[in-house]
Amino acid sequence: MTVPSRVQRVAVIAAPPVSMFNLAIPEMLFGKVEIDGAPGYETVICAPDPGPVPTTGGLDLVVPHGLDAVAAADTVVLAGSGSSTDPDPRVLDALRAAAARGRRIASICTGAFALAEAGLLDGRAATTYWTYRPLLAARHPAIDLQDDVLFVQDGPVLTSSGYAAGIDLCLHVIRTDYGAAVANTVARQALVAPVRPGGQTQFTQTPLPPERGVSFADTRAWAMEHLDEPLGLTDLARHAGVSVRTLSRRFHAETGVSPLQWLLHQRVERAKELLETTTLPMDAVARACGLGTADSLRHHLLRRTGLTPRAYRASFTRLPAPSAAPQGAPTHPRTATGPSSRAS
């Protein structure tokens, strides 16, 4: 992956009546990205008619920029709107023009309807908030609509399901541009969950009330500090002070995945960070993230990313390429390569 050589421009379209929560997500997350002390993104919120923009909450937001901001953007994000089935033709024209220029285009929640009306989702995999899925399927049967996922990327077009899944989509964009280490740093700064895979279910159960005041958030934080240890259900249950059965039931209710699935995901994410930011040998990376052996690391990373550890490191390293050796000096093989080209 070649880290962008300049700040990435993001245009967030506020189509009235816009969801304030949807609108805040890109600005909050992209605004926290810093690369070598400099901003990684420049985020501009724009609207078809600059000025007061109605929101789904009954308030008006003052948006000073018009859709001309889309022309200068590398990434265009369409926030969810309360009028999902009747998008502004000016928004559709701006989306089509951005797509024709090869820009990355994303939607949060019901923003997928405008992408569909613009013809950008025909023949592509996409998703939206689950309650709107039947309507989107009926209006646009050419879409390969994905059930029960957080977000989908098909080429340069990304769509997310409702509300908080927009956080996962934006973190995925950050990870694509700058790597897992940067994306997970942003997640920690924003006090949100680390990068989750897009295929994770959007149907999480309503969290159950804590039993005896136990918070599994504390146990998850403890586990993150001990990923290099052979943690299992018994260890997690002991830390939480509950039975294994209670842990499994309540953990899934809170996170949407089982404790062991969550552990594996965090270990793979830690492996990505180490591959991007260190020159540790593969066995050492595997031990440090709790995957045990280089063979196990290879198996899980290949399954999650389609890349071997060495290929992942070559594509996503954040380490500078070493200076050329003086003439006549001995050369040594490099464990980590310099940045290479990235496909969006």
Cα gap 185→195, rounded to integer Å:
10
Between helices 180-189 and 165-178, what is the axis angle to 10°? Answer: 140
Cα gap 21→180, rounded to integer Å:
24
Q: Tens of pLDDT along the chain (344 residues)? A: 556 768 999 999 999 999 999 999 999 999 999 988 899 999 999 999 999 999 988 889 999 999 999 999 999 999 988 877 789 999 999 999 999 999 999 999 999 999 999 999 999 999 998 889 999 999 999 999 988 788 999 999 999 987 788 998 999 999 889 988 888 889 888 767 665 554 444 433 333 334 444 468 889 989 999 999 999 999 999 999 999 999 999 998 887 789 999 999 899 989 988 998 899 999 999 999 999 999 999 999 988 878 899 988 887 777 765 544 444 433 333 322 222 222 32
Residues 134-180 pLDDT 10s = 999 999 999 999 887 889 999 999 999 877 889 989 999 998 899 88
Question: What is the model's pLDDT at position 134?
Answer: 92
CB 148 within 8 A of CB 203: yes
| Residue 45, C-beta contacts closer than 8 angstroms, at least 6 positions apart | 12, 14, 23, 27, 63, 65
For residue 84, what are its two tokens? 């999902």
Name the E strands within the chain: 8-13, 34-35, 38-39, 41-46, 51-54, 60-63, 75-78, 104-107, 125-126, 144-145, 151-154, 157-160
| Residue 154, C-beta contacts closer than 8 angstroms, at least 6 positions apart | 124, 125, 126, 144
Rg of the chain (C-alpha set): 22
Q: Sort residue 74 into left (φ over 0), alpha (ψ -120 to 50) or beta.
A: alpha
Dihedral, CA atoms, 183, 185, 189, 194, nearest 10 degrees? 60
Residues 171-214 pLDDT 10s = 999 988 998 888 888 988 876 766 555 444 443 333 333 444 44
Residues 123-135 pLDDT 10s = 999 999 888 999 9
Question: What is the model's pLDDT at position 114?
Answer: 96
